[in-house]
Structure formats: structure tokens, C-alpha cells
């Protein structure tokens, strides 16, 4: 082998770069873990679909006119319909007396979830519901005499009847329907109106 051929061979060995397979594998695994984590977080942040909440009652085609007259609703509590021009404050408010339907329905139109309960509900159940409401904007809670279930959660056109505040569907309903897609006026004010029952 000639001297120039040996020099070329030596130069090629010295100038050849090794593929850093270890580094490539490491960063590939890190990237894959990041993609899985981001995908999981995205799926967890999405509100549950109405189909995934067992027992959900839905009503469409609700009118939304303002009126000063009393309204006869066909569900208890009402899920929407004509209502008073003044909404019930719903900024995580817990009321201890029954509310006027017409004001609470206006709050539903703005995206609120109204949690109602039978008077006499156990104190521990009330405390769980109060905690949820006080920590969630666009919610309100009040007693509602004559309910056919201990607890009823209502959003515009959506309702769920529950036996217990421990039911996992409480959180699912709040995630799905507080200012949810069903809301006629999502994000309209929930303060500055009626603050008493």
C-alpha cells in the first residue's frame, strides 16, 4: 500500500464520525414520554361528553325570553325557558333558602350550574356540596322543597338526579356544564344582580 493510500485511510478513520446511538435513544425516549404525558394531560382536561354521564336528562329547544310574570316550568327544578331579566348571583354562592326559579334560570342561561337539594339533607352531604360550590365559579346552591331526588344538578337544558354528594358524577357534571357548550350566553355576568333568595 502506498504512503498516500495509507494517509487517506488514516484520515478517513480519524475524520469519520461515529453515530451517537446512545444519545439518540435517550432523547427519543424522553420525547416519547413527553408526548404521552402531554396527550394524557390533554385528555384529562377535556370535559366529559354528555354521553359519558350516566342518568343525564337533556332538554332542547328551550325559550329564553325575559318576563316579569311567574313562569310555569315543566321540570323541577327548571332546566331553562323564559325567565326574569335579573339573574341570581352565581359566583360560587350557597343560599340557605329556596330561590325564585325565574332568577335562577337566568343564571343557567349565563352558564351556571344550580345544585339543589331536599331540605333536611344530611350535614356531611351539604358540606361536600358547599365545598364544591364555594370553589367553583358559575355555581349556586339552594334548598328546593319537593325534589324527587335528594340532590339535583341543573345546567341549561341538562339535569342530573343524585342520591349522594359523594357520587363521582358531581365533578363530571360541573366539568361538562359550567359555561359549557349548551350555554346560550357563556360567560355573561354571574355577579351584580340578585343576591338574596
Model confidence pLDDT, tens digit, residues 1-32: 666 555 555 555 555 666 676 777 777 778 77
Percent of the residues in the chain that have a pLDDT greater than 70, as a whole number: 82
Please report, for the chain, how many H helices and E strands are present, in that order.
5, 6
Position 81 in a domain: yes
Q: Cβ(142)–Cβ(112) under 8 Å?
A: no
Answer yes or no: is pLDDT of 178 > 80. Answer: yes
- Residues 166, 112 share a domain: yes
Same domain, 81 and 129: yes
Angstrom distance (rounded) from CA 141 to CA 32: 44
Both 105 and 35 in one domain: the answer is no
Could you list the beta-strand ranges (E) of the chain: 57-58, 91-94, 113-117, 139-143, 151-155, 158-162
Instruction: Find the domain containing 28 and state its range.
Output: 3-45
Structure confidence at residue 15 (pLDDT)? 58
Q: How far, in Å, are 99, 134, 135, 174, 182 from residue 91 at the CA level? A: 15, 8, 9, 14, 19
For 52-109, write each residue's pLDDT tens digit: 899 999 999 999 999 999 999 999 999 999 999 999 999 999 999 999 999 999 999 9
pLDDT of residue 153: 98
Q: How far apart are CA 87 and CA 92, in angstroms?
A: 14
Task: Report how many domains make up the chain.
Answer: 2
Q: Of 83, 86, 97, which is closest to residue 140 (Cα–Cα)?
A: 97
Amino acid at each position: 500500500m502506498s504512503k498516500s493510500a495509507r494517509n487517506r485511510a488514516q484520515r478517513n478513520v480519524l475524520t469519520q464520525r461515529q453515530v451517537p446511538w446512545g444519545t439518540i435513544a435517550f432523547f427519543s425516549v424522553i420525547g416519547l414520554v413527553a408526548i404521552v404525558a402531554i396527550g394524557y394531560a390533554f385528555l384529562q382536561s377535556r370535559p366529559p361528553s354528555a354521553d359519558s354521564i350516566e342518568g343525564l336528562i337533556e332538554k332542547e329547544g328551550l325559550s329564553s325570553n325575559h318576563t316579569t310574570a311567574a313562569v310555569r316550568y315543566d321540570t323541577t327544578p327548571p332546566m331553562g325557558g323564559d325567565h326574569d331579566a335579573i339573574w341570581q348571583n352565581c359566583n360560587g354562592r350557597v343560599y340557605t333558602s329556596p330561590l325564585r326559579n325565574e332568577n335562577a334560570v337566568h343564571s343557567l342561561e349565563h352558564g351556571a350550574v344550580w345544585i339543589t337539594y331536599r331540605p333536611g339533607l344530611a350535614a356531611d352531604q351539604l358540606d361536600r356540596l358547599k365545598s364544591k360550590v364555594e370553589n367553583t365559579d358559575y355555581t349556586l346552591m339552594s334548598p328546593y322543597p319537593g325534589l324527587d331526588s335528594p340532590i339535583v344538578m341543573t345546567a341549561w337544558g341538562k339535569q342530573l338526579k343524585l342520591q349522594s354528594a359523594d357520587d363521582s358524577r358531581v365533578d363530571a357534571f360541573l366539568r361538562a356544564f359550567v359555561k359549557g357548550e349548551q350555554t346560550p350566553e357563556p360567560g355573561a355576568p354571574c355577579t351584580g344582580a340578585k343576591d338574596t333568595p
